[in-house]
């Protein structure tokens, strides 16, 4: 891999916008506006990438649809974090044969983390002949040029350069809605957890300049966005590559907090080995920073954590939680856990349950270990049966569900300031809102409340949601 991070020049981005203009002129000559469908899998960073793809497509003159049969351009923005996600992509990709058969001029693209994996791009090349364009995260900034080549030349294109990655400013963004916004502050990862493919497909850690981030946040605040999430594979590493004294993630939070406007600041994701008490101090003093921390611990046993290459111990993790709760007693805590890592015994898994009982998370994202080709963990002995792993996983889920239900019930009777963010699909309650800590609240009210802060009295709860009424 080329280890040097490149910063894409404004001239290069202007060149991409020239390709957008050429495609726009071509589309304007058509009898009807062509449509694009962007189907996103995986994490918030993929969602942010899809917003940039939609931004480019909008400048090219495309409208948007959620129907693959009506689309002239289909983009599958993929995730490689677990096998289930990959199989779902391959299944959906195979089904697109029928859409293209009915619409021979349709252009099908695959991008994102899966596309960057060599074995995946080779499988697409050999077995999914209806796919026209495959490009990895490093080539996203050149999407207009790649699409222009598909339009004007024969043949398929595979663009998955093996590089450290780049920073490209000035790519247009088309966001979903006017309430919540993702802001990527950095890209890539240097941690190389033994089970994770992300560093291999997204490249090395590289931070955006703070001036560019703050300019984007100011624009979002001026447009009325109420919930802004700062994104990075490990936000706590922000600034380490910039060589600017004093510029780190805690400093950046302070700068974002000082931006005028009525909005909440969230961030994803923090790594325990880099989380600091200075960060917790900043979270406590900055009134716009949401009282929520997602801090993945993955396993509660030190031997397993070492095999995962996580860089911390159970004791260190629990110390972080204690230090955070000392500063923000009502902090909402969420985390990630992997069950059945290669070599993990049931006795070692018991240590994970002990961490749950000690910390009492508000919610968890839980997974049974999924081997990723090319990672060290994929080569480790894994003697535990699928049945044993499933049994341990169920024990974990049962314990966390009981804790979550108890945590949720404690909100009943309280009045909470909540942001009304989306319409509900629950027929009993037409609106959904979020507390500052990110807890979901179903309630009924006028749709004009969308995008507004309201005070809700919590009247009931379930394991996963709260129910309220306007106070």
What is the token pair recorded at 450?
A: 């969308």
Give the tokens for residue 425.
């699909």
For 237-286, the pLDDT digits (tens) are: 999 999 999 999 999 999 999 999 999 999 999 999 999 999 999 999 99
CB 408 within 8 A of CB 466: yes
| Tens of pLDDT, residues 393-438 | 999 999 999 999 999 999 999 999 999 999 998 888 999 999 999 9
d(CA 282, CA 257): 10
Dist. CA 55–CA 51, nearest whole Å: 6
Give residue-wise pLDDT tens across range 20-30: 999 999 999 99
Q: Is the pLDDT of residue 84 over 90?
A: no
Q: Across residues 117-144, what is the average pLDDT?
A: 95
Q: Please give the pLDDT value at position 2.
A: 46
Q: For residue range 156-206, what is the model confidence (pLDDT) as tens digits?
A: 999 998 888 899 999 999 998 899 999 999 999 999 999 999 999 999 999
Tell me which CATH code domain 415-470 carries: 2.40.50.140
Triad 423, 450, 434: Cα angle to 5°: 75
Spatial separation of the C-alpha atoms in residues 19 and 423, rounded to whole Å: 37
Question: Two tokens at 158?
Answer: 């595979």
3-state secondary structure the chain: CECCCEEECHHHHHHHHHHHHHHHHHHHCCCCCCEEEEEECCCHHHHHHHHHHHHHHHHCCCEECCCCCCCCEEEEEECCCCHHHHHHHHHHHHHHHHHHHHCCCCEEEEEEHHHHCHHHHHHHHHHCCCCCEEECHHHHHHHHHHHHHHHHCCCCEEECCCECCEEECCCCCCCCCCCEEEEECEECCCCCCCCCCHHHHHCCCEECCHHHHHHHHHHHHHCCCCEEEEECCCHHHCCCCCCCCCCCHHHHHHHHHCCCCCCEEEEECCCCCCCCHHHHHHHHHCCCECCEEECCCECCCHHHHHHHCCCCCHHHHHHHHHHHHHHCCCCEEEEEEEECCCCCCHHHHHHHHHHHHHHCCCEEEEEECCCCCCCHHHHCCCCCCHHHHHHHHHHHHHHHHHHHHHHHHCCCCCEEEEEEEEEEEECCEEEEEEECCCCEEEECCCHHHCCCEEEEEEEEECCCCEEEEEC
pLDDT at 1: 46
pLDDT at 322 over 80: yes
Superfamily covering domain 172-404: tm_1862 like domain (3.80.30.20)
Task: Give the pLDDT score at 327.
Answer: 97
Res 252: pLDDT: 98
Query: 41-58, pLDDT tens digit by residue?
Result: 988 999 999 999 999 999
What's the pLDDT at 267? 97
Cα–Cα distance for residue pair 106/108, rounded to 1 Å: 6
Given a contact cutoff of 8 angstroms between Cβ atoms, the answer to whether 274 and 240 are in contact is: no
User: Mean pLDDT over all residues of the chain?
Assistant: 95
Whole-number pLDDT of residue 4: 66
Structure tokens at 20: 């957008």
Please state the rounded mean pLDDT for residues 5-15: 91
For 354-369, write each residue's pLDDT tens digit: 999 999 999 999 999 9
Architecture of the CATH domain 6-166: 3-Layer(aba) Sandwich (3.40)
User: Using CA of residue 273, residue 355, residue 384, residue 338, what is the dihedral sign?
Assistant: negative
The C-alpha atoms of residue 271 and residue 297 are separated, in whole angstroms, by 8
Tell me the domain boundaries of the chain: 6-166, 172-404, 415-470
Output the pLDDT for position 176.
Answer: 86
Q: 7: which residues sit within 8 A by CB, 6+ positions away?
A: 166, 167, 168
Q: Of 115, 154, 118, which is closest to residue 138 (Cα–Cα)?
A: 115
**Residue 471: is its pLDDT beyond 80?**
yes
């Amino acid at each position: 891999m080329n280890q040097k991070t490149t910063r894409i020049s404004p001239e290069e981005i202007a060149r991409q916008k020239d390709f957008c203009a050429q495609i726009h002129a071509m589309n304007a000559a058509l009898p009807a506006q062509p449509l694009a469908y962007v189907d996103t899998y995986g994490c918030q960073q993929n969602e942010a990438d899809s917003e940039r793809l939609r931004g480019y497509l909008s400048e090219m003159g495309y409208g948007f649809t959620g129907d693959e049969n009506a689309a002239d351009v289909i983009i599958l923005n993929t995730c490689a974090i677990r096998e289930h996600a990959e199989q779902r992509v391959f299944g959906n990709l195979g089904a697109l044969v029928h859409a293209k058969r009915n619409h021979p001029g349709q252009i099908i693209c695959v991008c994102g983390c899966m596309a960057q994996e060599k074995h995946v791009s080779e499988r697409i090349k050999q077995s999914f002949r209806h796919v026209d364009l495959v490009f990895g995260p490093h080539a996203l900034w050149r999407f207009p040029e790649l699409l222009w080549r598909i339009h004007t030349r024969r043949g398929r294109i595979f663009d998955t350069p093996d590089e450290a990655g780049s920073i490209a400013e000035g790519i247009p963004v088309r966001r979903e809605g006017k309430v919540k916004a993702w802001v990527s502050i950095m890209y890539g990862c240097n941690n190389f957890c033994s089970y994770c493919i992300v560093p291999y497909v997204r490249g090395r850690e590289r931070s955006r300049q703070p001036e560019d981030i703050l300019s984007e946040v100011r624009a979002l605040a001026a447009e009325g966005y109420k919930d802004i999430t700062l994104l990075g594979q490990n936000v706590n590493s922000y600034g380490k590559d910039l060589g600017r004294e004093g510029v780190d993630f805690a400093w950046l939070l302070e700068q974002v907090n000082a931006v005028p406007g009525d909005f909440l600041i969230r961030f994803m994701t923090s790594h325990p080995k880099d989380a600091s008490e200075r960060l917790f101090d900043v979270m406590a003093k900055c009134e716009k920073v949401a009282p929520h921390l997602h801090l993945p611990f993955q396993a509660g046993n030190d031997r397993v954590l070492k095999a995962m290459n996580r860089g911390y111990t159970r004791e260190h993790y629990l110390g972080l939680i204690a230090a955070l709760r000392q500063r923000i007693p009502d902090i909402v805590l969420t985390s990630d856990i992997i069950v059945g890592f290669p070599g993990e015994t049931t006795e070692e898994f018991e240590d994970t349950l002990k961490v749950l009982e000690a910390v009492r998370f508000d919610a968890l994202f839980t997974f049974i270990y999924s081997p990723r080709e090319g990672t060290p963990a994929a080569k480790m002995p894994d003697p535990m049966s699928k049945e044993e792993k499933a049994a341990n996983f169920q024990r974990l889920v049962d314990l966390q569900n009981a804790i979550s239900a108890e945590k949720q019930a404690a909100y009943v009777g309280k009045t909470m300031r909540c942001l009304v963010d989306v319409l509900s699909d629950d027929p009993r309650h037409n609106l959904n809102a979020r507390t500052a800590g990110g807890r979901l609240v179903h309630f009924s009210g006028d749709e004009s409340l969308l995008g507004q802060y309201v005070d809700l009295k919590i009247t009931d709860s379930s394991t996963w949601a709260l129910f309220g009424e306007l106070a």
